[in-house]
Copies of this chain bind each other. A is one copy, B any other.
Amino acid sequence: MANAIRNRMQLHQQNIQSVLAQVFNHQPISRIEISRNLALNKSTVSSLYKDLKELGYVEELGEGEASNVGGRKPVLLAINRRYGYTLNFDFGYRHLHIMQNNLSGDILSYSQVNVKNLTLNQILPLIDEQIEKAAKMGNTSHGLLGISFAIHGTVDRNQVTYSPFLIMDDVDLAKRFTEKYQVPVLLENEANAAVVYERDFNASNEHLNNILTISVHRGIGAGLIINQSLYRGTHGEAGEIGRSLQVGAGADNNTKKVEDYCSEDAIINQISEAKDNIPLNRQDVVELYQQGDEVTSRAIATFVENMAKIIVNTTNSFDPDAVFLNSPLIESLPELTSRIETAYQAMVPSISIPIKLTKNSHYATLLGGCALVTRQVLDMEDFKLNFAAQANV
């Protein structure tokens, strides 16, 4: 309540933003409906809308259906999909994922570029290439509006603070790209982007106040929505559950972390070791499991058990409305979700929190980044924006 609005100018500004949020969340929508939703007089809404239209963010789509008891047809308003676009990147282990979205969150394009064994400095020109490619299409009035990067590590104040899988070479991504393209550039932890995706792109999550996603990739991390907003922690390290230690294990075992037991890398290594260190990747493990391989099926059973415990521990800490699992491995073996849920339910006495699998986790991360940077572009950071209608995945 420190930076609350206090005078009429601020109130006016906020009301303009509220109207924009209404257009965003309920497009196509008429002025009269906005007036009812916001409990503002219809003439007030008309006047506020006029200001928004001058900014170019919104447009009229034409007339809608009249009420079935008569009356004038409403004019339907919507976000201007030809205003501009954001570019959203995800640094995967093998591929750089790229998504282009308009101001409303629609996917304009998706592609991936092979970056295996490349250094960051080798990847940067590939990103420039993508940005220029998008600029050449030139089918919007304002072009590139913002850029987001999903980082498989921790981020604080728009800087990468820890990146175990990609050496950063002292590159300041935000600085480099803002200076070069003169648009907002946003860095966000991959699990955080994923949980923003669940909040903003999943219509069925609209009424959830507290959401937890658990990302199982090369490491393990959690993303947290608390009271409808992303919780990053004081140093951007909230949700780093993979670094948890075993309580009660004795002082000799102080270094074994959760992600040493059940990250994707850990599972693959376990199986590989049991098989005379033959090199394996995720696809190999999936095939071994489907062939009924003894070693693999035991490793997966342990993984299921440990995942259930991780869910018990994190839900005991956060008590969310729902838990989402974000894991390419589980996605490849969908039955694991219900096995994990069963194991979890056996461990908790009373309240059991629903566990769901996020499909197409790469899209989730990119769309989460899109939602975050779009808010920044529109200066709507504190508003609830529903991108769900636009997610034609």
Contacts and interface: CB of A to CB of B under 8 A. Distances in A.
Given A246-B309, A248-B256, A209 B234 contact: yes
Given A305-B251, A309-B246, A313-B247, A231 B227 contact: yes
A135 interface: no
Given A5-B11, A245-B312, A319 B234 contact: yes
A314 B1 CA distance: 28
A1 B384 contact: yes
Contacts of A232: 319
Given A231-B226, A316-B237, A319-B233, A245 B4 contact: no
Contacts of A239: 317, 319
A110 interface: no
A191 B330 CA distance: 36
B18 A316 contact: no
Contacts of A320: 233-234
A240 B1 CA distance: 28
Interface string A190-231: 000000000000000000011000000000001000110101
Contact of A247 (B7, B39, B209, B258): B258
A256 B309 CA distance: 11
Interface string A1-42: 110111110010011001001000000000000000011100
Contact of A317 (B209, B222, B305): B222
Interface-central residue, A15, A162, A247, A261, by most chain B CB under 10 Å: A247
A4 B8 contact: no
A312 B247 CA distance: 10
Nearest to A353: B234
A347 B256 CA distance: 11
B6 A8 contact: no
A8 B382 CA distance: 21
A292 B304 CA distance: 45
Contacts of A261: 247-248
Interface-central residue, A2, A233, A235, A248, by most chain B CB under 10 Å: A248
Contacts of A5: 5, 11, 14
Contacts of A18: 1, 4, 6
A106 to B, nearest CB: 23
Given A238-B318, A258-B247, A40 B227 contact: no
Contacts of A245: 309, 312-313, 347
Contacts of A222: 317
Nearest to A306: B247
A319 B240 contact: yes
A231 B225 CA distance: 12
Interface-central residue, A231, A240, A318, by most chain B CB under 10 Å: A318
A159 to B, nearest CB: 14
A376 to B, nearest CB: 16
A239 B210 CA distance: 14
A351 interface: yes
A86 to B, nearest CB: 21
Interface string A305-340: 110011011101111110000000000000000000
A383 B1 contact: yes
A319 B230 CA distance: 13
A140 interface: no
A300 B38 CA distance: 59
Nearest to A380: B1
Contact of A1 (B11, B21, B235, B321): B21
The 6 A-B residue pairs whose C-beta atoms are closest, nearest first, are A233-B319, A248-B261, A238-B319, A237-B319, A244-B313, A245-B309
